[in-house]
Amino acid sequence: MSGALKEVRNRIKSVQSTQQITKAMKMVSAAKLRRAQDAITQMRPYAHKLQEMLSNIVSNSDGDVKVALAAERHVEKVLIIVVTSDRGLCGGYNSNLIKLAKQLIKDKYPQQQAKANVQILPIGKKGYEHFTKAGFKIVDKYWDIFTGLSFDKVQAAAKYAMDAFANKEVDAVELIFSEFKNAATQRFVAEAFLPVIKVEKAAGQKNADFIFEPGKEVLIAELMPKILNTQLYKAVLDANASEHGARMTAMDKASENANELLKSLKISYNRARQAAITTELTEIVSGAAALNG
């Protein structure tokens, strides 16, 4: 019985040590989440307004200006930007993003995939490792963006995608990321990055009254890449906040599970100890009875 007691005692110590780690990781993630949440909260209205402006400008060009990044063509080759995290221990965060990317390929680009014309641009180590092992064509230049996250790093990835589209190396660019809602909630999103989507005008709706200075063509050529850089940066900031929220929630749940396991182990330990005491008393009584006999 002493062996059983020792085993349970060791398991209790092990669970307590694990719980200390999960609590510490939750606190670290909570601190990082506050900073990441502030960043995306400040960025989101600006990015949304720029996206709205971009779609309106493209929609109102009415063919009078050639917009290379809005050119729709038959899709032969596809680039999919998948934003995951660098580290694990964040619940189903990464697996859900990877699952969404594969579902998008299956539903929207099965023919392109069959011809090996689907390329993945992973942002985040987890996505990079998974799609590399799965045998996908990989753009392996930008997966470490979260190491010293900055607008310049994201801009480089966005420029790669825009150049590939403008040069007709790919015919569509899709973006997979997690949109931050709150610490416990993320929305996994698949959206078109290129070509730029035009806003459908309702019947009888007039064009937006834009005054272009300098000329429309110069302005669009200058504005569009900057707005697309901002859109990708917003998605990466969303993903950064989502990751920390997911990890904080996962570590909180792990700490709760450790508590439940500790309660169960302590009950088992007390029962084993009581059984050991009972056995010892029985042996003492039996020995005394034998001596008296």
Q: Can you list the positions of beta strands (E) in 7-156?
A: 78-83, 118-123, 137-138
Give yes or no for a contact between 180 and 245, defined as CB atoms under 8 angstroms apart. Answer: yes
Q: Which amino acid is at 259?
A: N
Tell me whether residue 245 is exposed, middle or buried, using C-beta atoms within 10 angstroms of its C-beta: 0 to 12, 13 to 18, 19 or more: buried
**Catalytic residue among 90, 97, 118, 227, which?**
90
Kindly report whether the peptide bond that precedes residue 214 is cis, defined as omega within 30 degrees of 0.
yes
- Catalytic-residue membership of 90: yes
Give yes or no for a contact between 285 and 279, defined as CB atoms under 8 angstroms apart. Answer: no
Query: 211 to each of 48, 58, 65, 197, 219, how far by Cα in Å?
Result: 21, 14, 15, 21, 11
Spatial CB neighbours of 135, under 8 Å, sequence gap ≥ 6: none
**Residues belonging to the active site:** 90
